[in-house]
């Protein structure tokens, strides 16, 4: 009876602990209008959020490539399904208000979790807090031998070349602390007579907004095609250099 009461109190504490997280996710201000290619014309998603989604998708797919035999859930799958499909424990023990939360990368074989954020201090702090809360929610309900921890050692880089000798886009990521993976988009200027590796060695610059607006749709399609084996997108005459090519 004492154990049951302790478990009940723990569940209530967890629910209160995560209430702030749920409220923060649900109370975002309406973003400014944007006409970035790759989305519907009436989309109000800002260009920064669009690039963030592309980064999340690509980095998640790369993690799966590096861990082909693991059960990996990306941010389209919520905590309830992760516990259920990952055979971690009883998902019914999750409080209702946290069941639909979706960590960015959860590996239920390695028992690790990653939260992806832009590479700056404010976002890093948010990622640290979100990873901690996701882990608290999961570890409250999983079996004793299936406790999860923040993942480490996940890093990489890829380049996107739109035409031979042209500009390069780079997406790079690192995991400076357990459970928090930080990503950054950057840019290399065109240099017609240089190889892509020579251009990649140039100084990295911030990705110009006009570049994003001009090539955003093409970049998204090319990256997805590189990982999913789809056809080369119409109008794309360049090459995607995945992390395996950059070593």
- pLDDT tens per residue, range 75-134: 999 999 999 999 999 999 999 999 999 999 999 999 999 999 999 999 999 999 999 999
Whole domain around residue 179: which residue ranges?
156-245
Tell me whether residue 2 is in a domain: no
Residue 157, SS3? Answer: strand
- DSSP one-letter string for 42-76: T----HHHHHHHHHHHHHHHHHHHH-TTS-EEETT
- pLDDT tens per residue, range 174-198: 999 999 999 999 999 998 888 999 9
Q: Within this chain, do residues 173 and 123 fall inside the same structural domain, yes or no?
A: no
Residue 160, SS3? Answer: strand
Q: Within this chain, do residues 145 and 161 fall inside the same structural domain, yes or no?
A: no
Tell me whether residue 168 is in a domain: yes
Number of domains in the chain: 2
Higher pLDDT, 20 or 124: 124
Q: Within this chain, do residues 235 and 162 fall inside the same structural domain, yes or no?
A: yes
Q: What is the mean pLDDT of residues 62-86?
A: 97
H or E segment to which residue 239 belongs: strand 239-241
Contact 53, 47 (CB under 8 A): no
Tell me whether residue 15 is in a domain: no
Q: Within this chain, do residues 174 and 76 fall inside the same structural domain, yes or no?
A: no
The residue from 128, 150, 172 where one domain ends is: 150
Q: What is the 3-state secondary structure (H, E, C) of 170-190?
A: EEEEEEEECCEEEEEEEEECC
Q: Within this chain, do residues 96 and 160 fall inside the same structural domain, yes or no?
A: no
Q: Within this chain, do residues 173 and 141 fall inside the same structural domain, yes or no?
A: no
Q: Within this chain, do residues 139 and 110 fall inside the same structural domain, yes or no?
A: yes
Which tokens in the block code for residue 197? 């590796």
Q: Within this chain, do residues 176 and 141 fall inside the same structural domain, yes or no?
A: no
Q: Within this chain, do residues 139 and 182 fall inside the same structural domain, yes or no?
A: no
pLDDT band at 164 (very low <50, low <70, confident <90, very high): confident
């Amino acid at each position: 009876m004492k154990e049951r009461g302790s478990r009940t109190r723990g569940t209530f504490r967890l629910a209160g602990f995560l209430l702030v997280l749920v409220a923060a996710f649900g109370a975002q201000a309406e973003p400014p209008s944007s006409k970035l290619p790759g989305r519907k014309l009436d989309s109000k998603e800002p260009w920064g959020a669009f690039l963030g989604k592309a980064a999340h998708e690509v980095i998640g797919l790369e993690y799966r490539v590096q861990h082909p035999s693991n059960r990996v859930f990306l941010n389209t799958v919520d905590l309830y399904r992760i516990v259920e499909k990952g055979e971690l424990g009883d998902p019914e023990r999750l409080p209702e208000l946290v069941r639909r939360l979706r960590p960015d990368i959860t590996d239920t074989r390695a028992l690790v979790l990653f939260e992806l954020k832009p590479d700056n201090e404010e976002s890093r702090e948010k990622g640290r807090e979100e990873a901690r809360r996701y882990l608290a929610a999961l570890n409250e309900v999983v079996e004793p031998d299936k406790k999860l921890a923040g993942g480490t050692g996940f890093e990489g880089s890829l380049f996107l070349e739109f035409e031979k000798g042209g500009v390069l886009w780079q997406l790079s990521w690192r995991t400076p602390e357990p459970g928090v993976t930080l990503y950054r988009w950057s840019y290399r200027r065109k240099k017609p007579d240089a190889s892509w590796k020579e251009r990649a060695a140039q100084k990295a610059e911030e990705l110009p907004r006009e570049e994003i607006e001009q090539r955003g749709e093409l970049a998204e399609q090319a990256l997805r095609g590189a990982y999913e084996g789809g056809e080369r997108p119409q109008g794309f005459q360049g090459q995607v250099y995945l992390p395996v090519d950059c070593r």
